[in-house]
Amino acid sequence: MEPLQQDISERYCIQRGALVATTLYYRITLSISCITSILSVIGIICFLHRQYRSSLIFHSNLRILFLSLCVCCLAYDFLNIGMKVHHLALSLLYSTPCQIFLPKFLYMAMNITSSFIWITTQFILVSIVVERWFAVVYIQSYELRYKKLGPGLLAIAILISISTLALLYYGENFDEPQINGRMLTSTRYFYGNIVLTLLLIVDFIGCSFTIALRLFRPRRPILMPLSLKFQSKENTITSNLLFWITTLQFIAVFLSQIGALYIRVYHSTNKLVIAFKENMDLFNYYTLVLPVLSTVYLMKVKQRRIKDIKDNVNIKRIGRDGWINYSSVIQKQWK
């Protein structure tokens, strides 16, 4: 009986592990995903160093949330690079078929961490939408009353993500052999579908409110202070950027889940199902587009902001008013 069990175990390792992990298609899929994440890391770091760090275009609340979004994307890419390099190396260096499977605790760490980062990113983006609505609706009192809104929304997003993660992994023992750290065990499919449906609804609502925010134009008083004029223009600018970011993320998540559902229904018995699911990781490409889109947009924003300052700040230089302004400047210089 023992040799038979050993034979079945080795056969399982070959059919479900070695034959899949050593195919050229699977290795190419892992390589493309790894290269995409490397490019994403370079793009996000360059964006944070050159544009975001010195940019004053964002309000402090929005800076905290947008920075958290970039950090989550960066963490996702670093983790994805580590996993793909590990999986590729393991498929080349294993000596026995059963060594192709991940150790239990390594699989737990990879799967839970990647799921947490991915889920948190969705709720942080929704938090940005909420923060922008507060900034637009309460424009006259936003600077004084809502200084802690950003950290509060970030904390709520993290708590909701942890709760969602608890729902997804409640009762899981991670005993099922896996060759890929991103794949859920078969016992989690039901809860995984619930979480994916929930996230699709959240992304759809967030995208709808983002479109409404872009179309919403509150009436502005004619004699609005200059600071509020700049704040109103900032709200418009960030709403446009947020519209494209949210739309891209919604499309990436929606198409990924539709593709995963199609694969699960029609190709569940295919030995390359894991490679097919890897190809549907469009969120990886979203992290590549995010810094590029943000960099291009902020460069245009800086040019527009300089133009707005010149248009709104007009010091009289002719006649009596011009002489008074000139005299006051000279007096300040010689004090």
The answer to whether residue 335 is domain-embedded is no
Which domain range does residue 250 map to? 2-312
> Which tens digits make up the pLDDT trace of 188-199?
878 888 888 888
Structurally, the chain folds into a number of domains equal to: 1
The answer to whether residue 151 is domain-embedded is yes
The answer to whether residue 332 is domain-embedded is no
CATH number assigned to the domain comprising residue 252: 1.20.1070.10
The answer to whether residue 172 is domain-embedded is yes
The answer to whether residue 142 is domain-embedded is yes
The answer to whether residue 21 is domain-embedded is yes
Burial of 216 (0-12, 13-18, 19+ CB in 10 A): middle
Closest to 27 (Cα-Cα) out of 38, 19, 16, 15: 19
- pLDDT over 90 for what percent of the chain? 22
pLDDT at residue 1, as a whole number: 37
Tell me the Cα Rg of the chain. Answer: 26
The answer to whether residue 286 is domain-embedded is yes
pLDDT at residue 334, as a whole number: 46
pLDDT at residue 201, as a whole number: 86
Q: Which segments of the chain have a pLDDT < 70?
A: 1-8, 51-58, 143-144, 217-239, 268, 301-335
pLDDT at residue 198, as a whole number: 86
> Which tens digits make up the pLDDT trace of 245-287?
878 887 887 788 778 777 777 776 777 788 888 888 888 899 9
Closest to 295 (Cα-Cα) out of 239, 245, 232: 245
